[in-house]
Amino acid sequence: MKKTYKKTPIISRCASDLFLPLACVFGCYVVLHGSTSPGGGFQGGVLVASAILLVYLGYGGMGVKHSFNEHMLHSSETVAEIMYVVIALVGVFTGLNFCVNFVFAGQQVDTSILMNDAVGYHVMAGITCLLIMMLSVLEPDDHPHEVDDKEEAAA
Amino acid sequence: MYDFMYNFPVLAIMSLFLGAFLNSLVGRRNAKVRSAVVVLAMLAALVMMLSLVKPVLLDGKIINYWLGNWEPVEGWAIGISLEVDALSLFFALIVVVAVFVSGIYSFTYMSHDDSLVNYYTLFLMLSGSVLGLVLSGDLFNMFVMIEIMTFTAVALTAFRNHYEGALEGAFKYLVVGSLGSTSVLIGIALIYSQTHTLNLAQLSAVLPQADNPVTMLAFAFLFVGFGSKAFLFPFHPLAADAHAVAPASISLMISGVLTKCGVYGIIRLCYCLFQNMDQSFVQYFVTGVGVISMFVCVTMAFNQHNFKRLLAFHSISQVGYVITVVGLGSALGLSAGLFHAMNHTIFKGLLFLTAGAVQHATGSLDLDELGGLSKKMPGTCALFLIGAASISGLPPFNGFASKWMIYQATFQQAGETGNFFFVVVCVAALITSVLTLASFIKVSQSVFFGQLNPKFANTHEVSLGMRIPMWILAALCILPGLFPDKVQQWLLTPATQAAMNAPGYIDAAMGSGYAASFAIPAYQPQQIFLSGAWQPVMWLLLLISVTLAVCIVALLGGDEKATVTSEISSETDADPKYDSFFSGEASVYSQVGGSDLFWGFKHNWRHYFSFMHNWHSGVVNDYTLYGAAAIAVALVLCVIFL
């Protein structure tokens, strides 16, 4: 496995190692702080999801394949959607309105902080799935020689 | 209990969306779990909407729901709201019933397809978005729901992407549908810049007074946007391309539910938001668009050779009827329009489902190829005839009841105003109905009667899972036709009065006295007066006796008369069409096709038909151009005349 990674230049690998945690932490900060400052679930989620591009730049398509499970990401995207709806519905079942602030009643922060987290999680998983799809198109053909051989045989 | 029922609108929307999400999480492996989730979600929405019938439709309450309790402060509604009056609930009932029938039908109809989890997820999201649109009390939320609706409908149109033209149809729908959505968005932006609010109730109070060029432009943009969602002229070619390739259950949704959203948007826009239905320009404009859609689409349907394409053009033609009478601005006209909108969902849904059954059984939708299926699929044939009789407006089915009201509404309008335009409208409605009947005679001849194509000798009747939804719709075709006065009393009158009662709608959301502070006069309920009368039950008895007489004659006549052609062909073992009097290749299968029935009519109208043929080029650039031209014409007309 190490061999495949060594194909990519060391500078981009080091840069990727350096910036990957920063991108993740900054994205999570934007998500968690979304209810009181500019930004929010969507923007933070996209920031976290962009980390996959750093992985791709540093370690190539193989690195992305080994470090992400697309199926799990897809499921967690759905879980985030369900979480959002359930958080909103709790308001109804505590005898209040849909989307109502039930946790921090009477305080400055509202339930949108929890919904923000769900949105952030959803966007992170969803955009990562999309990026994996796009990157898989970019990946070079695994067996280029076989195709050539077949074409020659056909000719 | 009533306190909790107050939550039902939002819970119904959320049950559909939650069903979609749960389905994509747990439905990937196990088909039974998937079906259970889908049925539960649809059933929850259906039951919640039905339980609102008593408080909203019968007691006349308006449910007003502020998400997160963000209620209006000092006359400004900033929060998001759901507002359910009788008009919203009327359309919501159409939506949930159609969704339920379509979902049940899908279980058998789609069973041979793969990646069904995606299908049901998209299907439930489409349903949820449409329900959200009709229940929303906020203009921007309506736009969001329109976007979800358009994109899920596009994806579902292309779901069977192995069909020829599936991706092409979906692409056209995507491009031109986005043009319509953009038009709605521009209209909303213009309104927001003028009034600084998006709440429907507050807008209804502010907009009639804000009489400036910007709001007129907004009216034109919103009208074209909602009209494009109802596939009105000139957006109708899209519907044909999309319907021909979509699965039948999705055709039901597109024709029965999505077009109703456009109709709902136009009613809200003209009767509630701008309240300009009493201006003669708006009446001419809306009615004119309706009449053109109605007439152009019925003539276009005449020339089609694909079963579902033909039904698609008829669908737009019937929506044209609805818009025509909605544009009259009278209480009778609006209630006739609502009745026909409801009936259109029922009979057009039934016809699309029978087309789906034919396609499921034979694998073909080509009218020139099919034929003689009544012997192989008698149940489907009977259901098709019920649907065809309804859409053509034959008594005692529901299509007659609503078309009868439509003729009366246009006739009364012509009599009251003495305007020649409404006389033309009334005549056009009658002619369209006749052409519809002719067109359905052609379809029944091409598909169910005539000679059986040897290719389809092994066709079998479709299974019970597909027939039960069709029987539900057939029953719904007959009942409103037999008891139109009950439908009028329970559904149409409350919905019509709610649509015309803009002050009541405003006060329910903003607090009583808000409408009066904007000098909007209190609403006086208008009487819905029918000038003609008829006895539906007598007509049913007549229909039964005539059918019995025909059956007895056919039975007494014996086999030798009924099967003349088959006898000759069994003796000579060849088609008599190719005897020595005729020339041609006997090996080719041919029957007296349905398209040959009206050759004289087609010949006389050949210039018109060739013009229409060239005009429907099938190029997406042209269709986008027509859409842009529609926006331009609407803008110019509204700025000059409004």
Separation between Cα atoms, residue B93 and residue B349, nearest integer Å: 15
In tens, the pLDDT along B495-508 reads 999 999 888 899 88
Contact assignment for B21 to A78 by CB distance below 8 Å: yes
Separation between Cα atoms, residue B503 and residue B517, nearest integer Å: 11
In tens, the pLDDT along B407-434 reads 989 988 888 888 889 999 999 999 999 9
Which residues, in sequence order, are CB contacts of B135 under 8 Å at separation 6+?
A: B9, B12, B13, B82, B83, B84, B88, B92
In terms of Cα–Cα distance, which of B267, B307, B315 is closest to B91?
B267
Query: Which pLDDT score is estimated for B527?
Result: 77
Residues 34-73 of B with CB under 8 A from A: 65-69
SS3 content of chain A, % helix, strand, coil (to 5): 75, 0, 25
The band of B177, judged by pLDDT with boundaries at 50, 70 and 90, is very high
In tens, the pLDDT along B287-329 reads 999 999 999 999 888 888 888 999 999 999 999 999 999 999 8
Is the pLDDT at A107 greater than 70? The verdict is no
Separation between Cα atoms, residue B635 and residue B618, nearest integer Å: 26
Query: Which pLDDT score is estimated for B249?
Result: 93
Is the pLDDT at A16 greater than 80? The verdict is yes
Contacts of A81 in chain B (CB under 8 A): 21
Give me the percent of chain A exceeding a pLDDT of 90. Answer: 10
Contacts of A91 in chain B (CB under 8 A): 68
In tens, the pLDDT along B36-51 reads 999 999 999 999 999 9
In terms of Cα–Cα distance, which of B105, B33, B39 is closest to B250?
B105
Separation between Cα atoms, residue A85 and residue B123, nearest integer Å: 18
Contacts of B24 in chain A (CB under 8 A): 78
In tens, the pLDDT along B508-546 reads 888 888 888 888 888 888 777 776 667 777 778 888 888
Is the pLDDT at B593 greater than 70? The verdict is no
Contacts of B69 in chain A (CB under 8 A): 96-97, 100
What spatial distance separates the first Cα and last Cα of chain B, rounded to whole Å?
47
CB B355 within 8 A of CB B447: no
Length of chain A: 155
Place of tokens 């992985």: A55
Strand partners, B520: none
Query: Which pLDDT score is estimated for B302?
Result: 83
Query: Which pLDDT score is estimated for B627?
Result: 93
Query: Which pLDDT score is estimated for A74?
Result: 86
Arithmetic mean of pLDDT, B345-367:
91
Least confident of B316-325, B577-586, B617-626: B577-586
Question: Which ipTM did the prediction report?
Answer: 0.81
* Residues of A within an 8 Å Cβ radius of B: 75, 78-79, 81-82, 85, 88-89, 91-92, 96-101, 110-111
Give the residue on B whose Cα is nearest the Cα of A91: B68
B424 at interface of A, judged by CB pairs closer than 8 A: no
Is the pLDDT at A140 greater than 70? The verdict is no
CB B37 within 8 A of CB B23: yes
Separation between Cα atoms, residue B173 and residue B236, nearest integer Å: 10
Contact assignment for B21 to A92 by CB distance below 8 Å: no
Is the pLDDT at B244 greater than 90? The verdict is no
pLDDT, greater one: A38 or A80: A80
Helices B464-482 + B86-109 axis angle, to 10: 150
Arithmetic mean of pLDDT, A44-60:
88
Contacts of B22 in chain A (CB under 8 A): 78, 82
What spatial distance separates the first Cα and last Cα of chain A, rounded to whole Å?
37
Written as one letter, the residue type at B375 is K
- Enter the tokens of residue B576: 């008599």
What does the domain layout of chain A look like in residue ranges?
2-139
Q: Cβ of A73: how many Cβ atoms within 10 Å?
A: 18
Chains A–B, number of C-beta pairs less than 8 Å apart: 42
Distance from CA of A82 to the nearest CA of B (A): 6
Contact assignment for B68 to A82 by CB distance below 8 Å: no
CB B185 within 8 A of CB B608: no
The band of B566, judged by pLDDT with boundaries at 50, 70 and 90, is very low
In terms of Cα–Cα distance, which of B558, B539, B92 is closest to B338?
B92
Query: Which pLDDT score is estimated for B571?
Result: 44
Q: Cβ of B460: how many Cβ atoms within 10 Å?
A: 9
In tens, the pLDDT along B248-271 reads 999 999 999 999 999 999 999 999
Can the peptide bond before residue B234 be classed as cis, meaning omega within 30 degrees of 0?
yes
Query: Which pLDDT score is estimated for B192?
Result: 93
